[in-house]
Structure 1
Amino acid sequence: MTSAIAHINRIGTANPPFAVHDAFVRFVSAELADARSRRLFERMAARSGIAQRYSFLEPVTLADGTITDTAGFYGTGAWPSTGQRMALYERDAPRLAFAAIEALEIDIAAAGITHLIVASCTGFMAPGLDQAIVAGAGLDPGVERTVVGFMGCYAAVNSLRLAHHIVRSTPEARVLVVTLELCTIHFQRSGDLANLLAMLLFGDGAAAALVTARPEGIALRDFRAVTIPGTADAITWSIRDQGFDMHLGGEVPARIAEALAADASRGDDRGLLRGASPGDVALWAVHAGGRTVLDAVEHGLGLPAEALLPSRTVLHDHGNMSSATLMFILSRMLSGSGEGDGLALAFGLGMAAESFRFTLER
């Protein structure tokens, strides 16, 4: 008996209304008292490959030159507690989810959604974001709900894997997958240059995808995960008294490049490439974790410069939106003219690499 093949039929994406990248760069430059650190930060910001990031927090420059936001969330006094940040998540996350769902350009309430999968690692609320989506989007209250929490940048892969298995087992299923992150509510006041450079990467965004057995769009073939040995502390995401504290070790790009080079040369079907050579892959959907991460993938696999153009374009236009980023990349592929077999890759906490093979059909 042949199993149904899950397809991503549609993807809708959304960002909050306010552009914040330039304001963030100017704020940090003004805060850094050490001239050498300031020059280094500004040089790294210029080389980041990021032109814009978005937030629900609207930047404003006060009369004395202080850069803050119109709500004073990141004001001149004490910065917000984790509780205050979660209140912002509870207010804004549903709004962004509905915007992404609306971007699907279908009547979602009448679409017969049977399953809802929600991925997010930047906030908690109860009743959950999944329940807010069911109520606000007019879905059947009996829809089967699953929440993928605190998995970070590779959560989209895990969410699509769940949808893949649901459709394979229940071919009539219609799965709505929502990935959503409000990274900018976790900006930390810090004098540590490495932390500031990590915060430079992240913006807010959401994506909604319809996954069914209908043979249209992106066919999901198979999924595989590996863990890079000795890297458990390279990427961490901890809940502190003043928000969620992200740590990105400087060794991350080098470890990714080493692991991928080893994978490409192993010569069997047990790695991420499943025994194929990088040249056999027509399309690359690589999570845009940062310019250095994309450079590491390109160099580790010996890819031509144009191979990661979709990823670099999303990084340039939106920054790293954690779990939503890969979906933005796949959305661009869906709306483009390319076709053929591809490989999606995302790296994150663990330090793990999550992947799936796909075919873009026209």
Structure 2
Amino acid sequence: MKAAEAPTGLLAGTRPRILDLATATPPLSYSQSEVLDLYGISDPRIRSLFTNSAIDRRHLTLPPVDPDTGRPRPESQGELLAKHRETGVAMGSAALQGCLKRLGASVDDVGCLMCVTSTGLLTPGLSARIIRETGLPRTCARADIVGMGCNAGLNALTAVAGWTATHPGQLAVMLCVEACSAAYVFDDTMRSAVVNSLFGDGAAALAVRADDSGHPSDEAGGGAQILKFAGLLITEALEAMRYDWDEEQGKFSFFLDRDVPYVVGAHAEQAVDALLAGTGVRRGDIAHWVVHSGGKKVIDSVMVNLGLTRHDLRHTVSVLRDHGNLSSGSFLFSYRRLLDEDVVRPGDLGVLMSMGPGSTIETALVRW
């Protein structure tokens, strides 16, 4: 398929486009060894898990050190929720403001804000708090997608694209805010160590607008046109990624089954085939792959099952290396790196892919 040819897409005619995006992280980052030493972890199995994770550094919001123990002090569930609120509002506001600055837009231009998070439950949610913090219009349409996990960015993008299609010319922002430091349990179990070795804090804001005619963003090069979404729910792996209440710790605890990478990888081809079905696009026509940084084994499994190269997933790998797994916003950090690389050309096709609890694989087909 030639790059200049427009594939058939479910959203053809409405032309929702990804205009730009920006990311934000907390000020402090830590190497894996620094985290291990800070918590005094000597178990060789856990140290190996951290140091062989393909992660160099992560931005984290850790509690103050207890002077009696010399270690970060334990946090209650209430303190973790407060961290989620404070860190989330700060990161989310910074990412949103950065996105608008890139666009040359103001807060008054935003007609819809959709916030995504899985690292805490707030009522009112992040959307209301960020509207107040940033001065977005009080009439701004808003919604919060909470608890869907790492795949939720594309679930939210589906809704944002739908909103823009019914409000042509109006600007919508999807904001993924994940203060993963607010979802940690620190104990001596391998279950907790798997999670604690992987996730980092970060936020990403992405701007979308749909134009039926006449707007500069409707021209080639005006951002990636969203052509189609497709999702795959792997019901037999429903319990493979989940939040449980840890009675002993008195807080929520995230669980990742060791077979998650293989389950995701085994279904990746089916998910992509469903996305491309009916579009006339072949897998070989895809110039850019923007995939969630789920972890080293997840990335390798997706790469093998889709026949991709390390170069295809270079940004996915580098985001994992520099930030860890950022949950719903990971693929947007990779998207930002792709744009900064300045290799995208008008007519190029791309696949966005995220994976998470359900187990779920979400995809989108875009064309620049």
Partner of 1:14: 24
TM-score by length of 1: 0.86
**What aligned pairs does 1:15-34 form with structure 2 within 5 A after superposition?**
15-22=25-32, 23-27=34-38, 30-32=40-42
**3-state SS, counterpart of residue 333 of structure 1:** helix
How many angstroms apart in 1 are the aligned matches of 2:244 and 2:82?
18
- 1:326 CA drift (Å): 1.3
How many angstroms apart in 1 are the aligned matches of 2:330 and 2:59?
13
- 1:347 CA drift (Å): 1.0
How many angstroms apart in 1 are the aligned matches of 2:77 and 2:323?
25
* Equivalent residue in structure 1 for 2:293, among 273, 288, 292: 288
Partner of 1:4: 14
Matched, 1:82 2:54: no
**3-state SS, counterpart of residue 9 of structure 1:** strand
Map Cα deviations across residues 45-64 of structure 1 (whole Å, 9 max, x no partner).
Answer: 23211111112337769797
Closer/same/farther in 2, CA of residues 261 and 117 from structure 1, 3 Å limit? closer
Map Cα deviations across residues 101-141 of structure 1 (whole Å, 9 max, x no partner).
Answer: 22222565444111111111111223321111112211111
Partner of 1:186: 183
How many angstroms apart in 2 are the aligned matches of 1:324 and 1:46?
23
Matched, 1:101 2:112: no
Closer/same/farther in 2, CA of residues 230 and 173 from structure 1, 3 Å limit? same
How many angstroms apart in 1 are the aligned matches of 2:352 and 2:37?
34
How many angstroms apart in 1 are the aligned matches of 2:192 and 2:277?
36
Partner of 2:238: 232
Pairs aligned (count):
339
* Equivalent residue in structure 2 for 1:302, among 307, 317, 326: 307
How many angstroms apart in 1 are the aligned matches of 2:108 and 2:340?
21
**3-state SS, counterpart of residue 127 of structure 1:** coil
* Equivalent residue in structure 2 for 1:324, among 305, 329, 339: 329
* Mapped contact 1:166–1:173 kept (Cα < 8 A): no
* Equivalent residue in structure 2 for 1:257, among 265, 268, 274: 265
Map Cα deviations across residues 332-361 of structure 1 (whole Å, 9 max, x no partner).
Answer: 1222222211111111111111111112x3
Partner of 1:217: 223
* Equivalent residue in structure 2 for 1:196, among 193, 196, 216: 193
Map Cα deviations across residues 231-275 of structure 1 (whole Å, 9 max, x no partner).
Answer: 0111112344643311110111111222235567xxxx6x24437
**3-state SS, counterpart of residue 48 of structure 1:** coil
TM-score by length of 2: 0.85
Partner of 1:72: none
Give unpaired runs (5+ residues) of structure 1: 33-37, 69-74
* Mapped contact 1:344–1:357 kept (Cα < 8 A): yes
**What aligned pairs does 1:62-141 form with structure 2 within 5 A after superposition?**
66-68=70-72, 75=73, 79-104=74-99, 105=101, 109-141=106-138
How many angstroms apart in 2 are the aligned matches of 1:2 and 1:304?
30
Map Cα deviations across residues 308-331 of structure 1 (whole Å, 9 max, x no partner).
Answer: 001011111111111111111111
* Mapped contact 2:229–2:275 kept (Cα < 8 A): no
- 1:145 CA drift (Å): 0.7
* Mapped contact 2:194–2:256 kept (Cα < 8 A): no
* Mapped contact 2:290–2:335 kept (Cα < 8 A): yes
Closer/same/farther in 2, CA of residues 18 and 58 from structure 1, 3 Å limit? farther
Give unpaired runs (5+ residues) of structure 2: 1-10, 211-216
* Mapped contact 2:149–2:356 kept (Cα < 8 A): yes
* Mapped contact 1:278–1:302 kept (Cα < 8 A): no
Partner of 2:4: none
**What aligned pairs does 1:162-181 form with structure 2 within 5 A after superposition?**
162-181=159-178
**3-state SS, counterpart of residue 53 of structure 1:** strand
Partner of 1:71: none
Closer/same/farther in 2, CA of residues 263 and 357 from structure 1, 3 Å limit? closer
Closer/same/farther in 2, CA of residues 257 and 92 from structure 1, 3 Å limit? closer
* Mapped contact 1:256–1:300 kept (Cα < 8 A): no
Closer/same/farther in 2, CA of residues 58 and 189 from structure 1, 3 Å limit? closer
RMSD across aligned C-alpha pairs, in angstroms? 2.4
How many angstroms apart in 2 are the aligned matches of 1:306 and 1:140?
42
Letter in 2 for 1:24: V
How many angstroms apart in 1 are the aligned matches of 2:265 and 2:87?
37
Closer/same/farther in 2, CA of residues 236 and 63 from structure 1, 3 Å limit? closer
How many angstroms apart in 1 are the aligned matches of 2:149 and 2:105?
26
